[in-house]
Structure 1
C-alpha cells in the first residue's frame, strides 16, 4: 500500500537534490536532522558496497547515508549515487595521549574531506566505552584462566599444582562476586608463582573505570577540537547495548548524535545481545529509550540488524548457524518502527557486508527502505503536540509491554505510527486524537479503515507488529 502514497513524490526528491557544494547539516530543536534546509530522517548503511549496481540499488531504495573509508574516491563514488557519507575519525579523536600527533590528524581529515559534497557526519570509535570493559572481560575471564590452567596442569610438582589450582579457583570465586580488585592481583601473583611475568599486569576490570575516564576525557577534548575546526558536520557516537546510564552520559558529552546497536534475532538463549530484562524484538525500543535517557535533547540514531548471527560466526556448526538465523521481513519492519515510535531520528543497518546481495534479507531491507523513503515526509515531520491516551482491552496475557503511539504532524493532518511491543496480539483504543468524529484513518499496509467514534478509534494489532494510520 505504501507505494500508492501521494507523499512518495515528495520523498523521491530528497536525495536527488544533493548538490556539488558541501552539505550544510544542523540539528533542529526536535532533534531531527536538517540537511541543506530540508528535514531528513536518516536511513543509513554500515557498508559501501563494492558493486556499483548494489550501491545504486541501496540509494534508489531509500538509503541516504553510507559509511565510507577516509578517502576522496570513496566519497566521490557515493556522491555519484546521490548519497551522503560518514567517516570514522578513529582514535585520532582521543587526545588523552599522542596529543600533537592526533590533533594534526584531525586537522588533516577536516582539510581533506570536510568540503566534499557527500560528507555529512563524523563518527568516533565504535563502542568505545564498552571496549574499555569488553577487552578486559575477554582477558580476565577467558584467555588468562585458560592459559594459567594449561601452565598449572603442566607442572610436575603435585603439591604446587594443587596449591595453584586452589588459588585459581579463588580468583574465579572473587570474579563471580565482582570483586575484581581482589581477584586480579591474585591472578597476577599466579604468573609470578609460575616463574613468569603476567602478559597484562594490572590490566582488567578493576581498572576499567579509570581507563574509561581517561578515554572519555580525551574523546571530549578531541570532539571540541573537531567541532571548532569543522563546525558544519556533527559528530555521532555509537554504543554497544551495555553500560550504565551515567557512564553513557559522560561519553555522550563528546558527540552531537548518539545511539547503540542492538541485534536481538533470533530470540533464543544463544543470542544475548540485549542484557536488559527485555530481550525480544522490543529490546530495540527499550534501548532507543535508554539512549535518550543518556543524552537528553540529542538525536538518537539506532543501529539495527542487517545479518544473522550465524553469518558472522563461521566457527559454529552448520546446524547452529541455521538456528542463528537472519531476521524476517516482518521482524525487520517491526524493529525499524519500534525505534521510530520510541523516538529515533535515524536508523542504520550493520552486518549487510556479510550477506549475499541476492538474499532474502537484502531484498527485505530494500523493500523496507522503499517504504521508509515513501514515508520520509511523515518520519521527518514534527511530532504532533497532542496527548494520545492508549487503552488496551482485556486479554489473557500479562501485558507487561504494550502499545506505543507516535503522532506526526504532516501539514494539517496527524499520522499515527503505532507499535505493539507485547508478544501477544492486543486490541487498542486511542483517545485524544484531536480529530472530530467521522474522521477516517487508513492503515497503509493492509488498507483497513477505522472511523473516529465518540472521540476514539480501536483496532486489533498482532504481536510485535506495526500500524501506520493515514488520516483521509
Structure 2
C-alpha cells in the first residue's frame, strides 16, 4: 500500500506539471513521495477497528470497504438530517511560513444541499484554540462520476499557529453520501519554470525582434542564475529545431530571450524554454506558440505594448460590473451609472447582447459556461466532445457585433482544466482573432499556468471582512508579475457581501459588505499597482442582499440596493474622471527620491503637460511618506486629504487608513524641458511595495 501510494504521489505531481505546459525534474524522490498526512488511505486501524490517528465521530462517518480507490478501506459519510454536522479530523504538523499542497480523492452519491459539498480541509488554530484560518478546495455535490481529485495550495502558514488539523467534511445542510481516500499533504514546491510569453501580440510577428520571457523560481530550488543553463529552441510543426537562442537576461525570477524572427518562414512554430543545472538533476521547461506572417493586419480591438486596450486605435479603460443576465428596467438603472461596459455570459440569448449594445455599452462576453460538467453549462453541452461545436456556434453568432469588446475564456478554472482552456483558446482565435482573450484565475498562484492562453489576466480578490484590504494590492502585483510585463491585467474588485453566498445564519452574521472607503481603496489599489481595467463583482449579488431570506433573498437584515449602488457608482465615477489620464502615455515628472511605506502603491501619468500621481494606502492604519522632485513643482491635491505645501521639491504625504490621494504637479515653464523625461509607459514605472 505504501509503495503504491508513493507511486501515485509521483504520478499526480507529473500530471500537474504536464497540465501547466511545463516539465520539471523533481529535486529528489524523497520529496516526491513525502506525505505529511497520517494514515492517508485509512488502512491502519486501531484496536477499535477505526482508522488510527483519525477522530471517531459517533454518527455519520464510518469505515467502508465499498469500492475504495486504493487498498482495502476508504472513509464514508452518510447523513439524512440537514441539521446534523460532524467532522472527521487528524492532527497535522505544519511549519510557519511554508505553503502546502492538499489533495484528496472524493466520491459523492446523491449529495444535496448548499454550502459547497464534500471536501477536505486544512485548518489551523492559535494558542487560545481559536481558529485562525484554513483552506479547502471546492467540494463535490450530486452523484459524481467515479473518484474525483480535489486539490488546493495553502497560503504561507502564519507564525502564530499552534496546531493544525486535516479534516474530511461535508457542510451543514447537506444530505446524501460521500467517500474519501488517498489524501496527500506535502510542502508546496513551485515549478522551476512557470509561464512563458512573448511581447508579440497574440504571439504573432511579421519579422523583427521578439522578446520571449519565462518565469523562474530558482531560489525555491536552491539555484542561482550563474548555476543554471537556459536555452530557447524554435521548433517547426514536426518538432524539428529551426534555431536556438541564448538568454539575453537571466535572473532568479525571469529569463528573457531576444529572438530575431525575420529569417523564419511564414508559418506556425513552437517556442520551448529549457532551464537546468549542469548535471540535469534539476530542470524545467515551458513552451508557447509563435506565428510568423508577412504582414500584421489591423485589429478593431487589441492590447498595445503598454498593456492598454485599444478600440479602433483609441485607448479604452474597461470599467464595468459583472452581470448574469440583463433585462430592460435593470439595464436602465445601470446606464445611469458611470460604467462603459458589462460582462455578460455568452450562453444568454443574443437579444440581451443587442439590448446592451443599443444603450452604447461595450460587452465582455464570458465563455466560462462552455466546459462540460460546469454548473451552468448549456443543456446541449453533454460532454467534452460537444464543447467545440457549442462554443463555435456562440462565437460565430456574436463575433460580428461591434459592441463585443473581448472574450472571457475561463473564470476561475481548476488547474486540471488547462488543456481544455488551451483548446478553447485555439477554437476562439480561429473564429475571431480580432479581440483579446481574458482569463480570470481562481488564485494568484494559478495565474502562471494560464498566462500563455490569455492576452489579459484577471483575479478576483474579495477580502472583506475576513482579510486585510491590502490583499488586493498584493494580488494585483502578483498578476502583473505573472504576465512578465507582456499581459494586461483587469481585476475584479469586491462590491458584494459574502453573506450572499452563505446559507448558515451564523456565517451570514460574520459577513458584511465593503464600506465606501474600503471599496474605493481596493479599486484604486489595483489601478495604482498597474491594472488597466476593472470589473466589479457583482450586479446580481447587490440584488440578493436587497431582500431578506424570508423574502427570497440572502440577507438576514436588508441591505438596500439603492445604498450599495450609490456607493459603487461614486467609486466608479471617481475613477472615470481620471480615465483620460490613466490611459495617457505622455511624459511625466518622475521623483528622484521616494520614501514610502511598503503599504503605499504609487502610479504616475502625464497629461496635457501635468503630472498626476495616484497614491493609495493599502493598510487599515495611518502612514506617512515623502517624495522629492527636481524643479520645485507646484502641487495640487485633487483627491484626498490636503497635505502641507511642498517646499523645494519635497512633498510630505500623510495617509489615513486606506486613503486614496491624487496629486497634480506642474513645473514652471522655464524648467520644464530639464525636468520632463521622454515618454515613459506606466508599466515601466516601478511600483512601491
2:490 is the alignment partner of 1:301: yes
2:409 is the alignment partner of 1:116: no
Match of 1:441 in 2: 636
TM alignment of 1:247-286, pairs within 5 A: 247-266=446-465, 271=466, 279-286=467-474
Match of 2:622 in 1: 425
Matched positions, count: 339
TM alignment of 1:392-471, pairs within 5 A: 392=596, 401-432=598-629, 436-446=631-641, 448=642, 451-471=645-665
RMSD of equivalent CA atoms: 2.6
| Matching residue within 591, 595, 599 for 1:391 | 595
Work out whether residues 25 and 234 of structure 1, in 8 Å CA contact, stay in contact via their aligned partners in 2. Answer: yes
**SS in structure 2 of the partner of residue 107 of structure 1:** helix
List per-residue Cα deviations over 1:177-213 (Å, max 9, x = no partner).
xxxxxxxxxxxxxxxxxxxxxxxxxxxxxxxxxxx2x
Give the CA deviation at 1:248. Answer: 2.6
Work out whether residues 236 and 258 of structure 1, in 8 Å CA contact, stay in contact via their aligned partners in 2. Answer: yes
List per-residue Cα deviations over 1:447-472 (Å, max 9, x = no partner).
x3764422221121112211011236
**Structure 1 218/48 Cα, relative in aligned 2: closer, same or farther at 3 Å?**
closer
**SS in structure 1 of the partner of residue 406 of structure 2:** strand
Under a length normalisation based on structure 2, what TM-score does the superposition of the two structures give?
Answer: 0.46
Give the CA deviation at 1:89. Answer: 2.0
Tell me how far apart the structure 2 counterparts of residues 429 and 249 of structure 1 sit (CA, whole Å). Answer: 35
Work out whether residues 93 and 223 of structure 1, in 8 Å CA contact, stay in contact via their aligned partners in 2. Answer: no
Give the CA deviation at 1:122. Answer: 0.9
Tell me how far apart the structure 1 counterparts of residues 314 and 336 of structure 2 sit (CA, whole Å). Answer: 19
Q: Which has the higher helix share?
A: 1
TM alignment of 1:45-124, pairs within 5 A: 45-47=321-323, 50=326, 52-70=328-346, 71-90=349-368, 92=370, 101-124=386-409
Work out whether residues 612 and 662 of structure 2, in 8 Å CA contact, stay in contact via their aligned partners in 1. Answer: yes
TM alignment of 1:244-393, pairs within 5 A: 244=445, 247-266=446-465, 271=466, 279-296=467-484, 297-317=486-506, 320-355=507-542, 356=546, 358-382=561-585, 387-388=590-591, 389-392=593-596
**Structure 1 460/287 Cα, relative in aligned 2: closer, same or farther at 3 Å?**
same
**Structure 1 341/442 Cα, relative in aligned 2: closer, same or farther at 3 Å?**
same
2:25 is the alignment partner of 1:25: no
Runs of 4+ in structure 1 deviating by more than 6 angstroms, as ranges, are 97-100
| Structure with bigger gyration radius | 2
**SS in structure 1 of the partner of residue 493 of structure 2:** strand
List per-residue Cα deviations over 1:289-341 (Å, max 9, x = no partner).
11111122101111111211112213223xx4243110010000000000100
Which fold has the larger relative contact order, with Cα–Cα distance below 8 Å and residues 6 or more apart in sequence? Answer: 1
**SS in structure 1 of the partner of residue 410 of structure 2:** coil
Tell me how far apart the structure 2 counterparts of residues 441 and 384 of structure 1 sit (CA, whole Å). Answer: 18
Gapped runs of 5+ residues in structure 2?
1-298, 373-381, 547-559, 667-689
Work out whether residues 292 and 298 of structure 1, in 8 Å CA contact, stay in contact via their aligned partners in 2. Answer: yes
Tell me how far apart the structure 1 counterparts of residues 643 and 316 of structure 2 sit (CA, whole Å). Answer: 29
Tell me how far apart the structure 2 counterparts of residues 451 and 34 of structure 1 sit (CA, whole Å). Answer: 38
Further displaced range: 330-339 or 377-386: 377-386
Tell me how far apart the structure 2 counterparts of residues 281 and 384 of structure 1 sit (CA, whole Å). Answer: 31
Give the CA deviation at 1:342. Answer: 0.6
Work out whether residues 301 and 405 of structure 2, in 8 Å CA contact, stay in contact via their aligned partners in 1. Answer: yes
Match of 2:176 in 1: none
Give the CA deviation at 1:441. Answer: 1.7
Tell me how far apart the structure 2 counterparts of residues 52 and 360 of structure 1 sit (CA, whole Å). Answer: 21
Q: Which has the higher strand share?
A: 2
Tell me how far apart the structure 1 counterparts of residues 330 and 386 of structure 2 sit (CA, whole Å). Answer: 38
Give the CA deviation at 1:106. Answer: 3.2
Give the CA deviation at 1:93. Answer: 7.0
Tell me how far apart the structure 2 counterparts of residues 384 and 283 of structure 1 sit (CA, whole Å). Answer: 31
Match of 1:180 in 2: none
Match of 1:233 in 2: 435
List per-residue Cα deviations over 1:261-309 (Å, max 9, x = no partner).
011111xxxx3xxxxxxx4101001000111111221011111112111
Give the CA deviation at 1:386. Answer: 5.2
Under a length normalisation based on structure 1, what TM-score does the superposition of the two structures give?
Answer: 0.66
**SS in structure 1 of the partner of residue 627 of structure 2:** strand
Match of 1:200 in 2: none
**Structure 1 263/84 Cα, relative in aligned 2: closer, same or farther at 3 Å?**
same
